[in-house]
Amino acid sequence: MKAFLILEDGHVFTGASIGSRKEIISEIVFNTSMTGYLEVLTDPSYAGQAVCMTYPLIGNYGICYEDQESLRPWPDGYIVRELSRMPSNFRSQDTIQNFLKRFDIPGIAGIDTRALTKILREKGTMNGMITTDENFDLDAVIPRLKAYKTGNVVERVTCSEPSVLRGNGYRVALMDFGVKSNIPRSLNERGCQVTIYPAQTTAEEILAAKPDGIMLSNGPGDPKECTTVIKEIRKLYEADVPVFAICLGHQLMALATGADTKKMKYGHRGGNHPVKDLATGRVYITSQNHGYMVDTDTLDPSVAVPAFVNVNDGTNEGLRYLGKNIFTVQYHPEASPGPQDSAYLFDRFIEMMGGNK
């Protein structure tokens, strides 16, 4: 069956329908990872977005449910150049086609994803529609696309109640703004007992549990939408508890301490982004997924200073907070998808809590 991807600037791509046949409007973004498509699909940070994979062949090693970063996929839609119909891998349990149908996610295959990516790079991220309706009215669709807002998608992806990963080491309170499974797993593998809290949990409740450290997770959407959460993070900042924040958590901590964030032209999404540690000069290849960034021009230099910078475009990739046991990064040290260069940041967090128990 034919499917169409319609962009708010009027571009129309024609391809084949994959997955669900329902019609969706979403923010269209691209990811440059060559592998890890299941981790991309199950990353809650993609809630409210439709993902275009720039690598031309997707699905060749199938679906292995053990590799999921959450219990379900989160993108509104999925866009590929060519979809492998016959995956070949001894761990494969399913195909992407079935996976998308099972979770009612529409997609489109067979379009020129290079052309689509160039449009998004040149004009910036924009909204779009995936539809199988061959009789769509472009003049009627475009105003709907321009009106679409992702809204506060953190509320959609966060857990509904606290849960605990048992451990004999430090007790870590993990705020779930759309957490990837490998974050609590990385802490648990280092002996930590991790309590995962819903995004709207108050600072008083978290501090009353007397955690040795607090972690602020990744998540989707515009950080400025999380107004209630930002107020609670301010209280966590004022407490003398070590804090490590990733991605959205990094942005929320910056907002809570008086800095500003802004939307990027097309964001960073992929497993190949070089980041420089300003303290050592060493460059790490990192996994990233974000469309917003901290504006370092708005930082109070008595509160925080840049700790990491993106080698490609000079944007901020992390902050060090002065007089506090707090550091934050924009990228993903838990390493799925992507290399394991930055896993040492979890060890740094353990040291902030007092070393190994």
Q: What would the pLDDT profile of 125-176 be if each residue is shown by its tens digit?
A: 999 999 999 999 999 999 999 999 998 999 999 999 999 999 999 999 999 9
**In the prediction, which pLDDT does 338 show?**
55
Look up residue 306 and give its amino acid: P
Q: Any residues with CB less than 8 A from the CB of 143 and at least 6 apart, and which?
A: none
Identify the CA nearest to 240 among candidates 323, 349, 130. 323
Q: Is 292 annotated as a binding residue?
A: yes
Annotated binding-site residue? 128: no
Identify whether 27 is a catalytic site residue: no
226 tagged catalytic: no
Is 93 known as a binding-site position?
Answer: no
The per-residue pLDDT for 334 is 86
Nearest to residue 43, comparing CAs of 78, 72, 64? 72
Instruction: Evaluate the omega torsion of the peptide bond into residue 337 and state whether it is cis, within 30 degrees of 0.
Output: yes
Q: Does residue 332 carry a catalytic annotation? A: yes
Vertex 94 angle, CA 69 and 271, to 5°: 40
Three-class SS state of 266 = strand
Cα-Cα-Cα-Cα dihedral of 327, 68, 193, 253, to 10°? 20
Q: Where are the beta strands (DSSP E) in 220-315?
A: 243-246, 260-277, 283-295, 304-310
What 8-state DSSP symbol labels residue 66? G
Would you tell me how many other CB atoms lie within 10 Å of the CB of residue 135?
A: 5
3-state DSSP assignment of residue 77: strand
Q: Any known ligand binding at 248?
A: yes
Q: Which of 250, 268, 290, 332 is catalytic?
A: 332
Do residues 131 and 26 make contact, with C-beta atoms less than 8 angstroms apart? no
Q: What is the per-residue pLDDT for 282? A: 95
Q: What is the pLDDT of residue 337?
A: 52
291 marked among binding-site residues: yes
284 annotated as belonging to a binding site for a ligand:
no
Handedness of CA 315, 217, 230, 227 (dihedral sign): positive
Distance CA 228, CA 57 (A): 42
Which among 8, 69, 317, 334 is annotated as catalytic? 334
**Beta strands per DSSP E along the chain:** 2-7, 12-19, 24-31, 49-53, 57-58, 77-80, 82-83, 106-109, 126-131, 163-165, 171-176, 193-198, 213-216, 243-246, 260-277, 283-295, 304-310, 316-321, 326-329
Q: Is 187 annotated as a binding residue?
A: no
Q: What is the torsional sign of CA 60, 61, 65, 70?
A: negative
Give the angle 268-120-250 at the CA atoms, nearest 5°: 25
Enumerate residues 6+ apart whose C-beta is below 8 A from 267.
Answer: 29, 125, 289, 290, 291, 292
The whole-number pLDDT of residue 279 equals 95
Residue 20 is encoded by which pair of tokens? Answer: 């669900």
Tokens of 23: 């019609």
As a whole number of angstroms, the distance between CA 126 and CA 230 comes to 27
- 221 is an annotated ligand-binding site residue: yes
Closest CA to 229 of 203, 254, 250, 247: 203
Q: Which domains does the chain have, with CATH numbers?
A: 2-147 (3.50.30.20), 154-352 (3.40.50.880)
Question: Which stretches in the chain have pLDDT values below 50?
Answer: none
- The answer to whether residues 100 and 107 touch, using CB atoms and an 8 Å cutoff, is yes
Kindly name the residue from 192, 247, 250, 290 that is annotated as catalytic: 247
